[in-house]
Amino acid sequence: MATTQNSQPGAAATAIPASAPDACIPANPEAPDALPNGSAPGGTRTPKGPDWWLMMRAFLTQGKKIASFAPSSRFMARKLLDGIDWTNTQTIVELGAGTGPITAVMTKLARPETKLIVIELDPILCGRLRERFRHAANVDVILGDATCFGDLLAERGIQQVDHVISGLPLPSFPAVARDAVLEMAAKTIAAHGTFRQITVMPLVYYKLYRRYFDDVRFRFVPFNLPPGGVYVCRGYRGTLSTTR
């Protein structure tokens, strides 16, 4: 049985195939803190050192699960968030927040009533996020797997978000986990909303995102280490397996 929904502006109601996975598909099932519903038992670890070192160390030890050796620049964060109407934004979910460079800019732009749900899998990076945003009452930092973010939102009584912001290394996820994240995003994002993705490989994955979304805009960000960009996506078309 297929369910229908209209996730994006100008998009026709999108059929979610009957085969849509309801259970989460962990991108990193061997992670010690992984739980079936994607949340982890509060077990963050105390971060030692500056953000650049935490990211560098995570990259050196986990490679493509991290995908970038440095936190995003504020130029990347601004470009990613450009165009969001903060006056009408109730909830944003950020997937793969790292040390929080994008979260930090969101806390400056968002109204205090706007909920910022921030999900990070790495216990040390999550520890940094909890420490950094401990005074931000509208920021909820979750140690968990973003491939289960629908469950994590449901646990908090959230059915819909205005935008999904992703720092996840989606191209290196197993296809089934990437499909699950993007399908969940499509089910969750409000009609006016967007899926926004950072990259440090400008335009390389444009075709990949076009296979999931009808409308994909790329914005180049030269002032980032390394230079990168952002994809702003609307009009979910279905998972790769249904659009191939």
Ligand X SMILES: C[S@@+](CC[C@H](N)C(=O)[O-])C[C@H]1O[C@@H](n2cnc3c(N)ncnc32)[C@H](O)[C@@H]1O
Stretch of 14-22, 65-73, 225-233, 236-244 lying at the interface with ligand X (CB under 6 A): 65-73
If the CB atoms of residues 146 and 216 are measured against ligand X, the closer one turns out to be 146
Rounded to a whole number of angstroms, the minimum distance from the CB of residue 89 to ligand X is 19
Choice between 125 and 153, CB closer to ligand X: 125
* Interface mask toward ligand X for 90-119; x: CB under 6 A: -----xxxx--xx----------------x
One-letter amino acid at 215 equals: D
| Nearer Cβ to ligand X (191/201) | 201
Give yes or no for residue 54 binding ligand X (CB under 6 A): no
**Quick one: which of 39, 147, 197, 239 contacts ligand X (CB under 6 A)?**
147
Task: Output 70 or 240, the one with its CB closest to ligand X.
Answer: 70
Mapping DSSP onto H, E and C, the string for the chain reads: CCEEECCCCCCCCEEECCCCCCCCCCCCCCCCCCCCCCECCCCCCCCCCCHHHHHHHHHHHHHHHCCCCCCCCHHHHHHHHCCCCHHHCCEEEEECCCCCHHHHHHHHHCCCCCEEEEEECCHHHHHHHHHHCCCCCCEEEEEECHHHHHHHHHHCCCCCEEEEEECCCHHHCCHHHHHHHHHHHHHHEEEEEEEEEEECCCCCCHHHHHHHEEEEEEEEECCCCCCEEEEEEEEECCCHHHHC
Can residue 150 be called a binding residue for ligand X (CB under 6 A)?
no
Q: Please report whether residue 167 would count as binding ligand X according to CB under 6 A.
A: yes
Residues 178-207 binding ligand X (CB under 6 A) are 198
Of 128-136, 167-175, 188-196, 202-210: span binding ligand X (CB under 6 A): 167-175
Closest by Cα among 196, 200, 237 to 16: 237
| Pairwise CA distance, residues 241 & 244, whole Å | 6
Residues in contact with ligand X, shown as a per-residue x/- string from 71 to 90 under the rule CB under 6 A:
xx------------------
List the beta bridge partners of residue 92.
116, 163
Residue 143 in the binding site for ligand X (CB under 6 A): no
- Does residue 121 bind ligand X (CB under 6 A)? yes
The only residue of 28, 107, 114, 224 in contact with ligand X, by rule CB under 6 A: 28
- Residue nearer to ligand X on the CB measure, 27 or 164: 27
Single-letter code of the amino acid located at 7: S
Applying CB under 6 A, the residues found at the interface with ligand X are 27-28, 65-68, 71-72, 95-98, 101-102, 119-122, 125, 145-147, 167-169, 198
